[in-house]
Amino acid sequence: MILTKYNRELAHQMVDSAPDGHVLEVKPAKRSLEQNRLYWATLNDIAEQVVNGKAFEPSIWHVYFKQLFLPDHVHELPDGSLHVSPPSSSKMTLEQFSQYVDKVTEWAIQHEVKLSDQR
């Protein structure tokens, strides 16, 4: 839940009435649906135009931009080996996702993609 004055008051009430042994977690908000719509509208604009002589589906552009702009996640496995998993945009905060969408938009502009009014 994104904190507003009302939500803060509600959270205080919930904390005051919570039984002992419960946990409260405060963390940054995840990306918004509005941000996600803007991102996919941008990917659709890119996909509808030929870039560098090729056209690809929005999902392919999604994979491309994640690899271009987001770091891989490296995990140590129980046997001591390292596993590299692809980056994810679904767990980004509002601010992180905003910066990511800005990079994708900047890329589109640099590659002369015409961005629609849907954005």
Looking at residue 105, its pLDDT comes to 97
Residue 118 — very low, low, confident or very high, per pLDDT cuts 50/70/90? low
Looking at residue 33, its pLDDT comes to 87
Contact 43, 61 (CB under 8 A): yes
Rounded to whole angstroms, the Cα distance separating 87 from 100 reads 12
Residue recorded with tokens 């908000």: 29
Contact 68, 60 (CB under 8 A): no
Give the residue extent of every domain in the chain: 30-110
- The residue among 26 and 55 whose pLDDT is bigger is 55
The 10s digit of each residue's pLDDT in 72-117 is: 889 899 999 999 988 888 888 889 999 999 999 999 999 999 999 7
At 76, is the secondary structure helix, strand, or coil? strand
**Fold observed for domain 30-110:** NinB fold (1.10.3790)
The 10s digit of each residue's pLDDT in 5-42 is: 877 787 778 788 888 887 777 776 677 889 999 999 99
Question: Residue 1 pLDDT more than 60?
Answer: no
The pTM of the whole model exceeds 0.85: no
Instruction: Return all residues near 75 (Cβ < 8 A) that are at least 6 apart.
Output: 82, 83, 84, 85
